Amino acid sequence: MKIYTRTGDDGTTSLSGGRRVPKYHTRVEAYGSLDELISWIGLLRSCPVNDSRDKILVYIQNQLMICAAILSADTDSGKARELKPDPKCALRLESEIDIMEKKLPVLRNFILPGGNIFVSYCDIARCVCRRAERSVLKLNQTEKMPLIICKFLNRLSDYLFMLSRQISLDLDIKVITWPK
């Protein structure tokens, strides 16, 4: 099977189920942002500082793949109704956040992103996650999406923020705060 089909040369793409939509469609924007986020999480997985976090990062990627599959399926398709993220995916992230929070100093100011390339990867992944969340919320205005997707993305951005702080602590990176 060839990777190219030429069917998208007219600026449209197929949803899972066959319906064709413009490549700039709200649904395509939403699952495209998730696709980008999955890749950023993959980059985080490749960082040596995250060797011990590989299992949770793979879990996150798997949940994001399920969410992207739901978004890419035509709402009328039976496939869209069959796919479901782990109902406890947000709780799993909360548990991971709680573990990190116990080790981190109390936060009293905003933090300027950066300080280390691995921290910066987290910061960028968090921004992409927030964009993906906004895209899904926008799509939800016209085509109802499972609430768990938005909840998971909201919690994931929190997780990525905490992960950037944890990596800074692990690597003894000086965190620069933004004064009030």
pTM for the predicted model, two decimal places: 0.92
Q: Is 105 helix (H, G, I), strand (E, B) or coil?
A: coil
| Cβ atoms 131, 33 nearer than 8 A | yes
Query: What pLDDT sits at residue 76?
Result: 62
Query: What pLDDT sits at residue 79?
Result: 58
From first to last of its 180 residues, the chain has per-residue pLDDT tens of 788 888 777 887 787 877 888 788 899 999 999 999 999 999 999 999 999 999 999 999 999 999 999 999 887 656 556 788 999 999 999 999 999 999 999 998 999 999 999 999 999 999 999 999 999 999 999 998 899 999 999 999 999 999 999 999 999 999 999 987
- The CA distance from 168 to 44, in Å, is 14
